[in-house]
Amino acid sequence: MNFAQTPLHRALQLLTRGRGSRLLGAGLCVAMLSACTLSPDYHRPEVSSPAQFKQAEGWTQANPSDAIARGAWWELYGDKGLNALVEELNRSNQTVAQYEAQYRQAQALVRSSRASLFPSLNLTTSKNRSAQGTGSSSSSLSNNSSGIRDTYNAQLGVSWEIDLWGKLRETMNANESSAEASLADMAAIRLSQQSELVQNYLQLRVIDEQKRLLEATVAAYERSLRMNQNQYRAGVAGPDAVAQARTQLKSTQADLIDLAWQRAQYENAIAVLMGKAPAEFSLAASNDIPALPPIPVSVPSQLLERRPDIASAERKVMAANSNIGVSRAAYFPDLSLSMNGGYSSSSFNNWIELPNRYWSVGPQLALTLFDAGKRSAEVDRTVAVYDQTVAQYRQTVLDGFKEVENYMVQLKVYADEAVVRQEALDAARESLRLTENQYRAGLIGYLDVVNVQTTALSNERSVLNLLQGRLVASVQLIAALGGGWEAGPAFAEADKQ
């Protein structure tokens, strides 16, 4: 760059030629505020985005009418109780509240950096008492009061740093991008907390169903124990049948008791997610398990817009890009304009009078000539930070694609498994019916009945556990797709750059 031909050189020439020229030079500096920036042009980092997900076959394509696109994605499960719990979480979750406070801090930084683009106005008033000795002795000052005088000052000052090289604007841009990243982080943690609550709720409802199953099974085993005891007293059955029936009953009762603490854990987790102490919350048992919803799946390119963690990672890249410009601006001089005026008097009574007025006005140019490589090191650091954020962004995108693919294939496998397990359960129920009939006819011993009952109960619980897994995986897939989060206008505007 030829310094003699730069706008800065021409402005400095004007500023040194007289009062009128100084005003013209100041105006020229103001005109150059938007003419220079030292940060690289921002472009979204390139990522490998497939045309569609590998496991997309058979999935419903997303469209704007889907509940998942309206934001309240948990409404897909059609459970009013669940809807109320999530709404309470949105209002009272303390982890989200922490991120919301961080976002407000980031917004305040944006306002602060924007304010630095404008002049600052300062008012100063002071009273000073001073003295000067009249003799050579060090004690004469304290002995001579005639040298003591009061000075009253009132000063109004205006200062303005001219943003010739875009340092202030790039600082503001970096803070704006950081604020947008903070907003996306808040959305990501809210989605994570919502997902956790929905998963806990669905698992709790499956436990309620398991509890009903075990209660019915315990009642049936109690009847079998009584029947075997009666047969033993009548001499029809031996003591081994009674022992087997009692063992089976007690084992199932133990399993039923075990469900109590599992349910309590999910209930307590839901309470904390809603910002409540566990002692202040209880969730009544329900006879209904929410149905597995159809989940609309978008194309991979839309995942970059829907996932708040990906949006946050990109905004951090934008902030790092702006910080490069801030560090480069340190090589160039800082130009500031200041104007001060006020009154100074030794008497309070005639302090604010025309003869006591003073003023000063002028530019100041500051340039670091030698810093032993400090600025160069800072530029290298900001470039390295930018490269780090780019790699983090790309890794976040890849992790997002991986999560979606994993949960999609998991749900597909679970769906296939559910068909086979239901067939196994139907066969176990039929086998149990036939075995019980044979036992009542005296064709087989009670041990055979116990074995078949155990197999049937195991299949019943396996079907419920599989349903629990499918429900949890569906929540995880919705969260991996971004839930119902949509980038706001500020994000859309930034994406156009």
According to DSSP, the residues that pair with 120 across neighbouring strands are 159
- Name the DSSP class of 290: P
At 488, list the tokens: 């706001």
Q: How many residues does the chain have?
A: 497
Q: Which residues contact 207 (CB under 8 A, 6 or more apart)?
A: 259, 262, 263, 266
Three-state secondary-structure class, residue 289 = coil
**Rounded to a whole number, what is the largest CA-CA distance in the chain?**
133
> Given this model, what pLDDT does residue 449 score?
86
Question: Could you give phi then psi for residue 61, rounded to 5 degrees?
Answer: -75, 140
Nearest to 382 by CA among 170, 184, 117, 179: 170
Three-state secondary-structure class, residue 275 = coil
Helix (H) or strand (E) holding 113: helix 94-115
Run means of pLDDT, 10 residues per run, the chain, 497 residues: 41 42 46 62 82 67 50 90 96 95 96 93 88 57 60 90 90 94 94 96 96 93 89 84 91 94 96 95 92 81 84 94 93 91 84 84 90 94 96 94 92 94 95 90 85 92 95 94 66 46
* 357-366 sheet: strands from edge to edge: 120-130, 149-162, 334-345, 357-366
Q: With 0-12 CB in 10 A as exposed, 13-18 as middle and 19+ as buried, what is 443?
A: exposed
Q: Tell me the pTM.
A: 0.82
According to DSSP, the residues that pair with 337 across neighbouring strands are 160, 363
Contact 274, 89 (CB under 8 A): yes
Residue type, 88: E
According to DSSP, the residues that pair with 336 across neighbouring strands are 161, 364
Three-state secondary-structure class, residue 284 = coil
Contact 256, 216 (CB under 8 A): no
Q: Which residues contact 357 (CB under 8 A, 6 or more apart)?
A: 341, 342, 343
Contact 205, 292 (CB under 8 A): no
At 464, list the tokens: 């419920």
Residue owning tokens 């169903």: 209
Give the C-alpha separation, 354 to 490, whole Å: 52
> Given this model, what pLDDT does residue 278 score?
95
Give the C-alpha separation, 10 to 187, whole Å: 49
Contact 304, 125 (CB under 8 A): no
At 78, list the tokens: 């059609």
Give the C-alpha separation, 417 to 476, whole Å: 19
Contact 185, 308 (CB under 8 A): yes
> Given this model, what pLDDT does residue 34 score?
46
Helix, strand, coil distribution of the chain in percent, nearest 5: 65, 10, 25
Cα pseudo-dihedral 172, 174, 179, 180, rounded to 10 = 120
Contact 193, 273 (CB under 8 A): yes
